[in-house]
A and B are shown apart, each in its own frame.
Chain A
Amino acid sequence: MFKHLFKLIWKKKKSSFLMMLEIFVSFLILFAVWTLSFYNYRNYSKPSGIDHENVWAVFINFNTDNDSLKTIYRDLVRQKLKTYAEIEAFAFTSSNMPYSFSSSNSSMKYNGRETHPEFMSVDPTYPDVLKMKLTEGRWFTEGDKVNKIKPIVITQKMKDDLFGNDNALGKIIGEKDDRKQVIGVLRHFKFENDFQAETACMLEPLNGWHTDMLVRVKPGTTVETEAKLSKAIVQLGKDWSVEIQHLDNMKANKNRIIWVPILILLIVCGFLIFNVALGLFGVLFQTISRRKQEIGVRRAIGATKSHILWHFVGETAVITTFGIILGLFFAIQFPLLNVFDLDAFTYVMGIVLAIISIYVLVIACALFPSKQASEIYPAVALHEE
């Protein structure tokens, strides 16, 4: 039967070509949408590695450019915050804290391997604030600050990039004057948004000039405490200013930057696919009304209603298969050429989901006209001119 369908389609290759082209374009669009959606879903479903609930980001302006003064002021703030029962933990951090719009990258090399990690400078209490857990090693302490070789905690991605399957703990990276030793590894650390892929990141003890901080408060802490805290910090110095933001709001903002464009893309693609579906529907209806006599003959010589139904669905499926094969040729280049640095599995899933969607779409569009064809009365069809 496949050979029979193929012969019919081959003879009508000119008219089938347009439909095939439509399927091909739809396949590529769906491939892009599914790959993007699957990539983001996969990242979203992985743990972030941090607990952002009840964490505030406190941005302090000490109104000075003097790093020594900033260090003293930071200690003043630390002393003050310790007096608050509502505060569970706090840590000073570089401005590229989770869900912020700041970023700081550097290049790190080890034995010919290179990676470009996000570079964070934080207090030793940082993991207590964000409830981060290490999979290997330990976090740095106040005592580590005096070490000539800076201790660093790295993410699993950075470990994989630089050390592969080797043990990372104790390894020293960096230039002579700025050497760093790996003392801990974090399995997950999504600091940009929930859709972030595993990223290379390294955290080292805080240096001189950073004045932003993260504060974990007890659940149920009210805005009054926030106002009280803000006021207390401002009163510690002359012309200081403070801004407090909640980490969950910052996260929602950063997430929106990712999912809103995806949603818009999905809506646009939805309309596009809807138009393709309408086109297919129309073409099939026209084809069937043009082939009524053929349907009559087939019914006369022994085709059941079901044969007719599946004949037309089958013809559409064969054209669809050709469109998909053409699309596959292009889609398969993405994992082969490692385009956009996505893993092959994501592309394969994008291809599989696009194939399923196209077949579901086409068969859904073909079913109704084909059902109509199967209901054509043979005696009537044979006498229509």
Chain B
Amino acid sequence: MIKLKNIEKVYRTSTIETLALNEINLEVGKGEFLSIMGPSGCGKSTLLNIMGLLDEPSKGEITVDNETIRDFSDKKLAHFRNQKLGFIFQSYHLINDLPVLDNVELPLLYRSASANERTQLATEALQKVGLSNRVKHYPTQLSGGQKQRVAIARAIVGRPEIILADEPTGNLDSAMGNEIMDILINLNKNDGTTIVMVTHDENMAKKTNRLVRLFDGTQVM
């Protein structure tokens, strides 16, 4: 599903050059639930951003769903992200000025979906994460766990084949974290969604199919 070949990421400033990722070779199979672990600053999020086509590697090749990402235009990249990928972030990144339903509908705004279709799909996604009674609430009226469930609903509303989650339980207590993890596991098992999750939590990582460890930008396991 996702294939990374000799990925290298270097951050350059006028005085310093930092190697964030070094020779990463990774393959994520269809329907797999992969977790990435490692200490802070080891390049986990950078790797996830590269997988999610939010960042470009300095070197190497990415293949997503049998399509090699090379010289894609901004439009094509955006379309690719919209159709194939769903994102979940540690700090949820919901738009506080929009109600829950509108937050969930957001990816569909960039598709040619009618208003009715958008509402129907967003309602279904919210039902899936158990938040159908909060559609008119604003993010500021929700708990952390609820916000993350809204973020998950937003990630799955477009029915992407891959979900990239960057420490989805990082801001939650263990009970809430487990709830979120259960939702992700269900999505993986029931819908066959491929999930790549960055986490600091060993317990959460153990619940996934496979664990990849990074250290100083290098894959160590």
* A264→B29 CA distance, assembly (Å): 73
Q: Report whether over half of chain A's contact residues are helix, strand or loop; otherwise say mixed.
A: helix
Tell me if A298 is interfacial: C-beta within 8 Å of chain B. Answer: yes
Segment of B32-40, B76-84, B201-209, B212-220 in the binding face: B76-84
A8 to B106: give the CA distance in the assembly, Å: 12
Interface residues of B in 90-122 (CB under 8 A from A): 93, 95, 97-99, 102, 106-107, 109-111, 115
Residues B81 and A300 in contact, CB atoms below 8 Å apart: yes
Decide: A302 and B78 in contact? CB cutoff 8 A: yes
Q: Considering only CB atoms, which chain A residue lies closest to B102 in the complex?
A: A7
User: Which residues of B sit under 8 angstroms from A302, Cβ to Cβ?
Assistant: 78-79, 81-83, 107, 110-111, 158
The stretch that binds B, out of A97-105, A225-233, A304-312, is A304-312
Residues on A with beta carbons closer than 8 Å to the beta carbon of B115: 3
Contact residues in B for A127 (Cβ distance below 8 Å): none
Known: A300-B52, A302-B81, A379-B54. A293 touches B110 (CB 8 A): no
Find out whether the CB atom of A383 lies under 8 angstroms from the CB atom of B106.
Answer: no
Identify the closest chain A residue to B93 (Cβ). Answer: A297
The answer to whether A301 touches B106 (Cβ under 8 A) is yes
CB neighbours of B83 from chain A (8 A): 302
CB pair A378–B54 under 8 Å, yes or no, is yes
Distance A294 CA – B74 CA, assembled complex (angstroms)? 18
CB–CB B110/A296 < 8 A? no
Does A305 lie within 8 Å of B98, measured CB to CB?
no
Q: Does B55 contact A (CB under 8 A)?
A: yes
Is B75 positioned at the interface, with any CB of A under 8 Å from its CB? yes
Nearest CB in chain A: distance from B70 CB, A: 18
Please tell me the number of chain B residues within 8 Å of chain A, measured between CB atoms. Answer: 31
For residue B25, give the distance in angstroms from its CB to the closest CB of chain A: 21
Q: When A4-B109, A382-B54 are in contact, do A304 and B97 touch as well, CB less than 8 Å?
A: no
Contact for A379 among B49, B93, B111, B138, CB less than 8 A = B49
Quick one: which of B55, B74, B154 contacts A301, CB cutoff 8 A? B154
Docked Cα-Cα span, A285 to B144, in Å, equals 30
Residues of chain B within 8 A (CB-CB) of A12 are 97
Out of B45, B79, B95, which one reaches A297, CB within 8 Å?
B95
Q: How far is the CB of B162 from chain A (nearest CB, A)?
A: 13
A33 to B52, CA, bound (A): 53
Do B82 and A301 have beta carbons less than 8 Å apart? yes
A1 to B89, Cβ gap below 8 A?
no
Contact between B109 and A299, CB atoms less than 8 A apart: no
CA distance A307 to B106 in the complex (A): 12
Question: Do B93 and A293 touch (CB < 8 A)?
Answer: yes
Scan residues 9-61 of chain B and give those whose CB is less than 8 A from a CB of chain A: 45-46, 49, 52, 54-55
Query: Is A206 close to B, CB under 8 A?
Result: no
Given contacts A4-B102, A305-B74, A307-B78, contact A300 B54 (CB under 8 A): yes
Complex Cα gap A304–B109 (Å): 12
**In the complex, what residues of A have CB within 8 A of residue B106's CB?**
297-298, 301
Whether the pair A8, B97 counts as a contact (CB closer than 8 A) is: yes
Known: A11-B98, A382-B93. A301 touches B87 (CB 8 A): yes
C-alpha spacing A155/B114, complex, angstroms: 63
Which A residue's beta carbon lies closest to that of B83? A302
The docked-state distance in angstroms from the alpha carbon of A3 to that of B106 is 12
Could you jot down 29 A-B contacts, CB within 8 Å? A1-B109, A4-B102, A4-B109, A7-B97, A7-B98, A11-B138, A297-B89, A297-B95, A298-B106, A301-B106, A301-B110, A301-B158, A302-B82, A302-B83, A302-B107, A302-B111, A302-B158, A303-B110, A304-B75, A304-B79, A304-B110, A306-B75, A377-B55, A378-B54, A378-B55, A379-B46, A382-B49, A382-B89, A382-B93
Residues of A within 8 A of B (CB): 1, 3-4, 7-8, 11-12, 293-294, 296-307, 377-379, 382-383
| Besides A296-B93, A304-B75, A377-B55, 9 other A-B contacts (C-beta < 8 A) | A1-B109, A11-B98, A11-B138, A293-B93, A297-B89, A297-B95, A302-B107, A306-B75, A382-B49
Q: Using a CB–CB distance below 8 Å, which chain B residues touch chain A? A: 45-46, 49, 52, 54-55, 74-75, 78-79, 81-83, 86-87, 89, 93, 95, 97-99, 102, 106-107, 109-111, 115, 138, 154, 158
